Amino acid sequence: MLPESSDVVVVGAGNAAMCAALAAREQGAGVIVLERAPEDESGGNTRFTAGAIRFAYNGVADLRELMPDLIDEEIARTDFGAYTENQFFDDMARVTENRADPDLVELLVRRSRQTMMWLRGKGFRFVPIYGRQAFKVDGRFRFWGGLTVEAWGGGPGLVEAHKKAADANGIRIFYGARAMSLLHGDDGVHGLNVRYQGKSRTLRCKAVVLAAGGFESNPEWRTRYLGPGWDLAKVRGTRFNTGDGIRMALDAGAAPCGNWSGCHAVGWDRNAPEFGDLAVGDGFQKHSYPFGIMLNANGERFVDEGADFRNYTYAKYGAVILRQPGQFAWQIFDKKVTHLLRDEYRIRQVTKVTANTLEELVEKLDDVNPAKALETIRAYNASIRTGIAFDPNIKDGRCTEGLAVPKSNWANVLDTPPYEAYAVSCGITFTFGGLRITTDAQVLDTDGTAMPGLYAAGELIGGLFYFNYPGGTGLMSGAVFGRIAGSSAGRAAKAG
């Protein structure tokens, strides 16, 4: 039975929501969680992730504190490097073209490691991301791109850990419970209308934390805010993030904030279903394009595949693919690099062709102009500065010369069969526009006044990401701001 009241109600059961619930409990508040999805589809986009999470660390000692299981032998064969707060600040500024709200970034970066340790203290476990984020060169792994750690068991493991922690802390999750609107008046927010088990109910509370995701799964809002063509994108994750949290807050007077026409979107299997499939998880993504080339329907390259480590380009290249004729591209590799391809290239549900000659390959690329494709590959092959050594662990500067669309790193002549090609379309991950919050994660109204009793965290806050995104920051943002929102809501509920 859904209770009639609670100190704090958290809307959503992804990473941001569950961190908020734990933090509110720490303040001594009673907390319940409303999850729109049924239990077997619960956990939002969080459950679809690999659990990769970006945080600042000064060296292996910091990592060992977080992951005491790291053994000396592992440390000896790995260069974990460091990812300092300054690097994190620089990455946020660079990829968002200096648009990210400095106050939010300050919290995200400075609280990143302590929030990881907070999770660790609540029983969460983390492991290094060998393979995806570190290649073995001359017998040694070397991490690159500021992303070193993932949650044990990936996204599903993270959601399970959250459930366990919620249970241990007396937090009840109600599945199939959809928050519909906020109860609010001059004194702020004091409850919600909820649809639960086919019935409308009223739930009173002292504070609400909205953590119900973005509007990525709502094709009408996508088209309205992201623009024409975005109705055609595939959704990488949950079908339940339709913008409810944002809508409820706006209806109550909250201010919109951030990059409403922007989103995180990637290259995603051309034949993937409309929404994410939990059995496949993030496997439809195809993130190894820096080691090959991408061709569109005209048989042309259209983007610098090697502009930067994939962590800093993948989230904006989905939009570039969406703009191509037919909204698709083919990624092409030769045998020299296929051992570097991520595990997602070896799943059963993959749109792939192979060939022993380039002539044969271009004929197999569905919907592509074969003559032009061959011409493009030959021009690309002839343009590479092969005197520069190839190294997948660094930005090696092995580039093309004289092409209209350059490739800046990891350029290799396509000359070693078998050739492999993978068809991708645009998969949207989450939207960037959302609600304006204070540094206490309290929602601001359109007059710039903090709304009593209303807090927000996760995908539905605006102001953090613009145009692009550094990989692994979504989970960190959810954890940092979820924790802040929960603490603030818990404190307010206990005080009120």
Ligand X SMILES: Cc1cc2nc3c(=O)[nH]c(=O)nc-3n(C[C@H](O)[C@H](O)[C@H](O)COP(=O)(O)OP(=O)(O)OC[C@H]3O[C@@H](n4cnc5c(N)ncnc54)[C@H](O)[C@@H]3O)c2cc1C
User: Which residue matches tokens 């961190």?
Assistant: 19
Which of 459, 470, 484, 487: binder of ligand X (CB under 6 A)? 459
Q: Residue 398 in contact with residue 336, Cβ under 8 Å?
A: no
- Provide the pairing of β-strand 188-196 with 199-210: antiparallel
Q: Which is nearer to ligand X, 53 or 362 (CB)?
A: 53
Considering only 109-117, 335-343, 407-415, 468-476, which stretch makes contact with ligand X by CB under 6 A?
A: 468-476
Phi, then psi, of 481 in degrees rounded to 5: -75, -25
Quick check: 488 binds ligand X (CB under 6 A)? no
- Where are the alpha helices (H) located in 67-139, listed in sequence order? 72-76, 85-95, 102-110, 112-121
Q: Residue 66 in contact with residue 120, Cβ under 8 Å?
A: yes
Quick check: 240 binds ligand X (CB under 6 A)? yes
Q: Residue 457 in contact with residue 20, Cβ under 8 Å?
A: yes
DSSP per-residue letters across 351-420: -EEEESSHHHHHHHSTTS-HHHHHHHHHHHHHTB-TTSPP-TTS-----B-S-SS---S------SSSEE
Which of 209, 423, 451, 475: binder of ligand X (CB under 6 A)? 475
Residues in 43-62 that interact with ligand X by CB under 6 A: 43-46, 48-53
Nearest to 232 by CA among 301, 352, 323: 323
* Number of continuous H segments (helices) and E segments (strands) in the chain: 13, 22
Q: Find residue 295's DSSP bridge partners.
A: 330
Quick check: 95 binds ligand X (CB under 6 A)? no
Quick check: 238 binds ligand X (CB under 6 A)? yes
Quick check: 433 binds ligand X (CB under 6 A)? no
CB of 461 to ligand X, least distance (A): 8
CB of 12 to ligand X, least distance (A): 3
Quick check: 96 binds ligand X (CB under 6 A)? no
Which of 430, 432, 465, 466: binder of ligand X (CB under 6 A)? 430
Which of 8, 21, 23, 37: binder of ligand X (CB under 6 A)? 37
- Measured CA to CA in angstroms, residue 12 lies from 20, 34, 53, 270 at distances of 10, 6, 20, 30
CB of 226 to ligand X, least distance (A): 16
Nearest to 474 by CA among 463, 455, 457, 459: 459
Query: Hey, what are 170's tokens?
Result: 């007396």
CB of 469 to ligand X, least distance (A): 9
Quick check: 179 binds ligand X (CB under 6 A)? yes
Q: How far apart are CA 469 and CA 471, in angstroms?
A: 6
Quick check: 124 binds ligand X (CB under 6 A)? no
User: Which residue matches tokens 């199939």?
Assistant: 176
CB of 49 to ligand X, least distance (A): 3
Q: How far apart are CA 473 and CA 94, in angstroms?
A: 14
Residues in 278-307 that interact with ligand X by CB under 6 A: 282
Q: Residue 428 in contact with residue 308, Cβ under 8 Å?
A: no
Considering only 63-71, 116-124, 331-339, 469-477, which stretch makes contact with ligand X by CB under 6 A?
A: 469-477
Residue type, 421: A
CB of 11 to ligand X, least distance (A): 5
Q: Which is nearer to ligand X, 237 or 490 (CB)?
A: 237
CB of 351 to ligand X, least distance (A): 17
Which of 27, 133, 241, 400: binder of ligand X (CB under 6 A)? 241
Quick check: 14 binds ligand X (CB under 6 A)? yes
Query: Hey, what are 366's tokens?
Result: 């569905």
Quick check: 429 binds ligand X (CB under 6 A)? yes
Quick check: 78 binds ligand X (CB under 6 A)? no
Summarize as ranges the residues that interact with ligand X (CB under 6 A): 11-17, 34-37, 42-46, 48-53, 178-179, 211-213, 236-238, 240-241, 244, 276, 282, 429-430, 458-459, 472-475, 478
